[in-house]
Chains A and B, each alone.
Chain A
Amino acid sequence: MRMITKLFARIPMARRQHLLTLLAGVAAIAFPLLHDNDADIDSAANAAAYATLALGLNIVVGFAGLLDLGYAAFFAIGAYAYGILTSFQVMPHWSGFWEPFAWLELVRRIPQPGGDLVHFTVSFWIMLPVSALIAAAFGVLFGAPTLRLRGDYLAIVTLGFGEIVPIVVRNVDSVTNGAAGLNGIQAPRLFGHSFGVAALPYYYVAIGLVALLVFVSIRLRDSRIGRAWMAIREDEIAAAAMGVDRTRTKLLAFAIGAGFAGATGTFYVAKLQTATPEMFGFPVSVMILVMVVLGGMGSVWGVVLGAVSLQLLQSWFLEDISGWIHDLGTLIGQPWMLKIDLTESIELIFGLILVFMMLYRRDGLIPATRKQSALSFEEQHAEVRRGGFPALTGLGNFTHSDHTGLEVRDITVRFGGLVALNKVNLAVPAGDVVAVIGPNGSGKSTLFNVITGLTAADGGTIRFDTQSLLGLPPHQILRRGVARTFQNIRLFTNLSVLDNVLIGQHARLKTGPIAAVFRPPSTRREEAAARVWATEILSLFGNRLLPRATQTVSHLSYANRRRVEIARALASRPKILLLDEPTAGMNPAETLELAEQIKSLHSLGLTILLIEHKLDVVTRLADKVVVLDHGEKIAEGTPDEVRRNDAVLQAYLGRGTLAEGMVDA
């Protein structure tokens, strides 16, 4: 045994995972051959079915961070889609219309004295993907009105949908046979043989589904789509500002998650050959959630393990343990022990799992992100550089001075009675650096928010390169070349530095969900180029970020987080960069370093709009300074002109304390 672990430790990390996958696959295939017990194989097939459900919910909850409490509704939709199209429940009258379908063997003509009827006989293999599509369509239908809601409201609305679907199923008995449920659902057939009721063929179909969905999950996770989901999970506002279309991306997660459930629903009723509304209620949604939470939200293999272990706990272990307790009770003559039936307390165990996992192990049994080793001393050693960016060779493409720049005219923003911005005018000519200064609460960040579409304006116009930005969602504003950083740093904290910078490129990449799964050569090329670009951007900051590229952002120092945020914005290939207090919290040396780096960005042709409190930085960088106070522009001019302006001095120092030069302090 020790030899095996020793050998295992010698295999490189990446290979280890492949080896484990292979072992799990072999074990899954060999299991029924080694253990020929129909009931146990049946339990294992159910466990696999629940694993596919957990994989689907993991996309919604684990990747995109949307708590869906009505997931079983999509399971039900897939189940009833197959059930209705293969049972004798719905039988329209025969007409010529059905002829081609009969020829395709999708329907059969049933002779009846009162007029012939149609019997649907759609094949299981056709229905598997079709149910996935139907459920995904319902996912879009339910999701579209609700995904704009805050996350916690979404939970309650999905809970509502999860309740409505079984109620509808129960109430429209002509289609679903109501509470009595559908019966006589056709078993799958392969090469003319019906699967019947033996567990074995279902087991292999189920593990095939698990393997397929694990593959799809991993491919999606490691793609542009997966990164966008996780960006939304980590910080929705920042994701939008970095070019992620929130509604679409969430809908996609919802639809794909629903699709997994739909296919599983078809499999599940094909196996049981019956479907009742009770099979898809709230307890099922919670059970799938427990599986995801136990395995680890966002962890593909974790949720498979979570699903399999819970299902086996339910169908094997609890019964066994109850049996042992009964034996023990008989042995020591304690009749009360004979009454204990742990299988009844499975839901209590579910509840306890949810509470304890959240309190003590939120990452689950197999956490999605692995612990990282610390950097070596050399890697931690930072070379403080002067004179801006060292390597500018690959970065010629920031030159955008052909556009007309940013023009803000008469912009007004009100929060209730408070006027945050009052008819503010601002022009940032292409290729210039303009700084906005002003006391706290003067409306500087609101100005940034309104330019980047995070706050709605109550009047005025904003034009960039002659196009109006007003009313556009944040991701489209980024797409037009306006990127920003945030005053209080909004990074995707639980993702790596590299991922953060890759998400910055979201709007510049094209990979969709299908390309993400199949990875055609064009997608591989795009992804490789994206990584090269990300590495180039990171290398701008010397060895401050590059050795930390795979580290989680939450491990970084404050100054490095500011740098990552700038890198993330630069990765989107902006025409104008909006920096909101980029040097806040940095020491003088770091401030100087960053100021010179910003200067070299400017010399590359990037237009920059800067909010800054440190006036020496402003003086060093800005061509023009705009001063805001109480939401109004009180001065504009060169740094020298502004520092001599009476209104500015009053705003900063208060009336009656005018003293030239004090702003320098």
Chain B
Amino acid sequence: MSFSDLLLQQTINGLSLGAMYALLALGFTLVYGILELINFAHFNVFMVGSFIGMWTLQLMGINGQSIVMTGLPLIGTMLIALIVTMVLSGALGVLIERVSLRPLRDVKGPAAMITTIGVSYVLFNIILLTVGADSKNYPNPLPPVQWDIGDAVLRLREVLIWVIAVLLMLGLHFFVQRSKMGKAMRATAQDPEAARMMGVEVDRVIVIAFFLGSALAGAGGLIFGLYYNFTSFIIGFTAGLRAFTAAVLGGIGNVPGAMLGGVIIGLIEAMGGQFIATAWTDVIIFSILVLVLVFRPAGLLGRVAPNKS
């Protein structure tokens, strides 16, 4: 494969990974923007979302890669799987907020963050203990259509992933920028106290943020399964850390920043794996995280936050 074809192929791969990380990063950013909380539970909401997607597809009679669909049935199946996964993952996020985080809303210090680590561990181990440690073959009804561009290959699943991710992100962007709830969200992120006094129901805003973030993580989990053809209890940790790095890189609390960061991290992972060594991918990504935090804590698109003291 020529160098330019390699580059093209890794760009295709990187954009697919990036789409997934961006969806996951949005959840970190939404919650952080409002609560200034790193939500470690998000890591494994993504993982559980991936299983919800798998079970939904299986309930519709799709097992492994043997059943291939085309046309409207394919679109319908994917749409149902996506919606069910997102709604249930979103509900999981809301449940986590309601049960474990709301009572700690006014507690200073690392208590809330420690709780999210605990929740993350609980989700992780529930799946491990009930589903098992072996990775699961992911149901995938996509036809094996692909386009050859030189030596590089663009598969239908990649196009589908991009379409889903772009549509979801556009939807979120318009929701945050245009809708009344979105405005309330932005107001709460700026100053929860002032927003509350202006009649914003802050509790509801937080619930919506958790719902949207977790729903997008669920979509990311479904995409993970469709892209790699497997899922496992273990996928949340690495993907979560990379997505968090993406959110920080783009500017945490910043919605377009999370998307940009996701794409950049996806590309770095693909290129790094190709041209450096897969074994060092995480080291590279963490080095980026540290460098960004030290030298540009506001991220690429973020502005320096005013001192909230």
* Chain B window 100-116, contacts with chain A (Cβ cutoff 8 Å), 1 for yes, 0 for no: 10011001011111110
Q: Are A354 and B306 in contact (CB under 8 A)?
A: no
Instruction: Return B86 CB to nearest CB of chain A, in Å.
Output: 25
Question: In the complex, what's the smallest C-beta–C-beta distance from A356 to chain B, in angstroms?
Answer: 8
Check A167–B244 contact: CB distance below 8 A. Answer: no
A359 touches B100 (CB 8 A): yes
Contact between A157 and B290, CB atoms less than 8 A apart: yes
Task: Enumerate B112-158 residues with CB–CB distance to A below 8 Å.
Answer: 112-115, 117-122, 124-126, 128-129
Contact assessment for A156 and B129 in the assembled complex, using a CB-CB cutoff below 8 Å: no
- Provide the residues of chain A in CB contact with B38, threshold 8 Å: 152, 155-156
Residues of B within 8 A of A151 (CB): 110
- Distance in Å from the Cβ of B127 to the closest Cβ of chain A? 10
B2 CB–A CB distance under 8 Å: no
Interface contact B104-A358, CB-CB below 8 Å? yes
Interface centre among B36, B111, B114, B128 (most CB of A within 10 A): B114
**Stretch in B50-58, B168-176, B186-194, B278-286 with 4+ CB within 8 Å of A:** B278-286
A146 within 8 A of B: yes
Q: Is A502 an interface residue (CB 8 A)?
A: no
Closest residue of chain A to B122, judged by CB? A351
Cβ-neighbour of A286 out of B113, B121, B241 (below 8 A): B121
Secondary structure at chain B's binding surface: helix, strand, loop or mixed? Answer: helix
A282:B118 contact, CB within 8 angstroms: no
Q: A interface, by DSSP: helix, strand, loop or mixed?
A: helix
A69 touches B117 (CB 8 A): yes
Q: How close is A273's CB to chain B, nearest CB, in angstroms?
A: 27
CA distance A159 to B100 in the complex (A): 22
Cβ-defined partner of A358 (8 Å) among B115, B126, B282, B309: B115
**How near does chain B come to A454, taking the closest CB pair, in angstroms?**
8
B181 at interface by CB-CB < 8 Å: no
Given A152-B37, A168-B283, A157 and B293 contact (CB-CB distance below 8 Å): yes
Q: Answer yes or no: A149 CB below 8 A from chain B CBs.
A: yes
Count class of interface residues, chain A: 35 or more
For the complex, is B220 an interface residue (Cβ under 8 Å from A)?
no
Take A155-B38, A233-B109, A345-B125 as given contacts and tell me if A355 and B244 are in contact as well, using a CB distance cutoff of 8 Å. Answer: no
In the complex, what residues of B have CB within 8 A of residue A159's CB?
A: 241
Q: A171 touching B279 by the CB < 8 A rule? A: yes
> Which residue of B is nearest A160, CB measured?
B286
Decide: A164 near B282, CB < 8 A? Known: A353-B118, A358-B114, A359-B104. Answer: yes
Closest beta carbon of chain A to B132's beta carbon, Å: 11
How far is the CB of A131 from the nearest CB of chain B, in Å? Answer: 23
For the complex, count residues of B whose C-beta is within 8 A of A.
Answer: 42
Q: Chain A residue with minimal CB distance to B244?
A: A156
Known: A61-B110, A358-B104, A359-B100. A156 touches B289 (CB 8 A): yes
Are A160 and B290 within 8 A (Cβ)?
yes
Minimum distance in angstroms from A650 CB to a CB of chain B: 28
Q: Is B294 an interface residue (CB 8 A)?
A: yes
When distances are taken between beta carbons in the complex, the residues of chain B under 8 Å from A155 are 38, 110, 113
Q: Known contacts A61-B110, A149-B294; is A355 also within 8 Å of B306 by CB? A: no
Contact bitstring A227-256, B, C-beta under 8 A = 1, else 0: 000000100010000000000000000000
**Is A544 in the interface zone, CB < 8 Å from B?**
no
In the complex with contacts A145-B290, A149-B294, A152-B36, A355-B119 CB distance below 8 A: yes
A145 x B294 contact (CB < 8 A): yes
> CB within 8 A of A167: which of B119, B279, B289?
B279
CA of A356 to CA of B120, assembled, Å = 13
**Is the CB of B230 closer than 8 A to any CB of chain A?**
no
Tell me whether A88 is interfacial, beta carbon within 8 Å.
no
A148 to B297, CA, bound (A): 11
> Cβ of A164: which chain B residues have Cβ within 8 Å of it?
282-283, 286
- Interface residue B237 (Cβ < 8 Å from any Cβ of A): yes
CB atoms of A160 and B289 under 8 A apart? yes
B55-107, CB < 8 A from A: 100, 103-104, 107
**CB nearest neighbor in A for B126:** A348
Q: How far is the CA of A289 from the CA of B237 in the complex (A)?
A: 18
Q: Are B100 and A355 in contact (CB under 8 A)?
A: yes
Q: Determine if B237 and A282 form an interchain contact, defined as CB atoms under 8 angstroms apart.
A: yes
Q: 1/0 per position for B216-231, CB-CB distance to A under 8 A?
A: 0000000000000000
Instruction: Known A-B contacts: A67-B110, A348-B122, A355-B118. Give 8 more (CB < 8 A).
Output: A151-B110, A152-B38, A152-B110, A157-B290, A168-B283, A347-B124, A351-B121, A354-B114
Q: Which residues of B are interface residues toward A (Cβ below 8 A)?
A: 36-38, 100, 103-104, 107, 109-115, 117-122, 124-126, 128-129, 237, 241, 244, 248, 279-280, 282-283, 286, 289-290, 293-294, 297, 306-307, 309
Q: Can you pick out 30 interface pairs between chain A and chain B where the beta carbons lie within 8 Å of each other?
A: A61-B110, A67-B110, A67-B113, A145-B290, A149-B294, A152-B36, A155-B110, A156-B289, A157-B289, A157-B293, A159-B241, A160-B286, A161-B286, A163-B241, A163-B282, A164-B286, A168-B283, A170-B279, A171-B280, A347-B125, A348-B125, A348-B126, A351-B117, A351-B122, A352-B118, A354-B117, A358-B100, A358-B115, A359-B103, A415-B306
